[in-house]
Amino acid sequence: MATNMYLQLDGIKGESVDLNHKDWIEILSFSHGFTQPVTPVRASSGSTVERCNHSDISVSKYVDKATDAILKHIWSGKQISKAVLEFFRADGQNKPVKYIEIELANVVISSYNLSGGQGSLPMENISLSYGKVTYRYTQYDVLGKAGGVQPVYHDLTKNEVG
């Protein structure tokens, strides 16, 4: 089983027919990153740091029934209250298990690109800006038994990390 990835945007329906992700958006790839600006000036405690910079989450997907709503959101700047990305892989019995979940709050679609080529389906790349991000990673043993989940978050509006 390859990694399966799904995106849910509040108020926007996709075309997934997966039993646990009906009407979610199936995504082909994603990218997300952070940078920590560091000042080279050394203090007695080391380099000084600033507020962490978050890149937008970028996802690629095929054109589907979510496309029209996505276009309306980027053109209007309308905020989406919540977005969830879920990532699945196979366990020891080749059954899908969710191992990563990323939840976003106060989301704005910040970028949209449509591309295609001869012999391929049109693909969209959308970027999501947000006010808060929460990561949840679930560790599994070789038999597929889930370990504990410890969510970590950064609320950019409050500059709160937990």
What is the tens place of the pLDDT at every residue in 52-66? 899 999 999 999 999
Where in the chain does DSSP place strands (E)? 4-9, 25-27, 29-31, 34-35, 38-43, 46-49, 53-54, 57-62, 80-90, 96-115, 123-129, 132-140, 146-149, 152-155, 160-161
Q: How many CA atoms lie within 13 A of 29 on its CB side?
A: 5
Confirm whether pTM is higher than 0.85: yes
d(CA 25, CA 68): 13
pLDDT tens for residues 86-135? 999 887 778 888 999 999 999 999 999 999 999 999 999 999 999 999 99
Confidence class of residue 43 from pLDDT cuts 50, 70 and 90? low
Place of tokens 């997966």: 18
Q: Which domains does the chain have, with CATH numbers?
A: 4-35+49-161 (2.30.110.20)
